Amino acid sequence: MYESIVDNRFTIYRFLVQNSDRNINYVLSCNSTKECIVIDPLDKNGIEEIIKENSLRPKYIFNTHAHPDHIKYNDFFISKYECPLLAHIDCRELFEFEFENVFENDIVKVGNLNLKVLHTPGHCHEHVSLIFDRYFFCGDSIFNLGVGNVNFRGDVSMLFRTITHKIKNLPDQLLLLPGHDYLKNNITFLQSLYANSSEIGSELDVLLSNFKPSKLSPLFNIGFEKRNNPFLRIDEFTFLDCLERKDLFKNEKIEFRFKLLRQLRDEH
């Protein structure tokens, strides 16, 4: 079962993959041409249902990065629909099959829609995201109230730069469409950081009590992340002062605090 975000010009289809990692698969289509782009295909049947029910024509498969849960059905869709795969050039060492390179600021055309490529390394070096209209297909670079891990070919310094100097500067209105729905675990992590768990605030408290494992979380924008995502708040003393282990975060270097927070999240 998928959700549709419908605009005059385009439709974004999204659904939660029924796995423990709570992957989210996306298809974006142009309403007038029915061309579409399939992003990080993991659930073959779910994506096929969207394509068939809406009479879509895949123009591209797009990989935000080359981790196995984001590329699983690349070859199925490429051969069935005879459409090219788009991925960052650094995937050439990782893929045995052919693909077209995308770079920072490239424009991907799908029907009448123009999607802009953003290089967002750190979770892994080949990570790219897409910006389209008010939407940000951000893969595993940033999640609602969290950021990607760096355990599989990742680089935490690079992730720090991507989050702090790139993603944090994006417009507040941009809505995140992440590769996983980790909202619940990220709220409980945030709760565990505070000296007093009520610091989490009523907005996040309501989200936590409304959480249903089988449902996708609502959409949140960059402004919400700036207000609530701990990885975007490590330069705020009002935030750091509320933490139970605030002494750990005394180091003046923001990059140090970011790495420490990433480590604490891994241990959570």
Taking the least distance from each CB to Fe ion, the nearer of 140 and 181 is 140
* Contact set for Fe ion, span 44-73 (CB under 5 A): 67
Q: Is 40 in the site for Fe ion (CB under 5 A)?
A: no
Tokens representing 78?
């490429």
Specify the stretch interacting with Fe ion by CB under 5 A; choose among 47-55, 81-89, 139-147, 209-217: 139-147
Instruction: Please report how close the Cβ of residue 159 comes to Fe ion at its closest, in angstroms.
Output: 12
Taking the least distance from each CB to Fe ion, the nearer of 35 and 140 is 140
Q: Is 181 in the site for Fe ion (CB under 5 A)?
A: no
Instruction: Please report how close the Cβ of residue 68 comes to Fe ion at its closest, in angstroms.
Output: 9
Specify the stretch interacting with Fe ion by CB under 5 A; choose among 140-148, 159-167, 197-205, 228-236: 140-148
Please select the residue that binds Fe ion; options are 40, 140, 181, 225, rule is CB under 5 A. 140
Taking the least distance from each CB to Fe ion, the nearer of 59 and 67 is 67
Site size for Fe ion (CB under 5 A): 2
Q: Is 88 in the site for Fe ion (CB under 5 A)?
A: no
Q: Which residues bind Fe ion (CB under 5 A)?
A: 67, 140
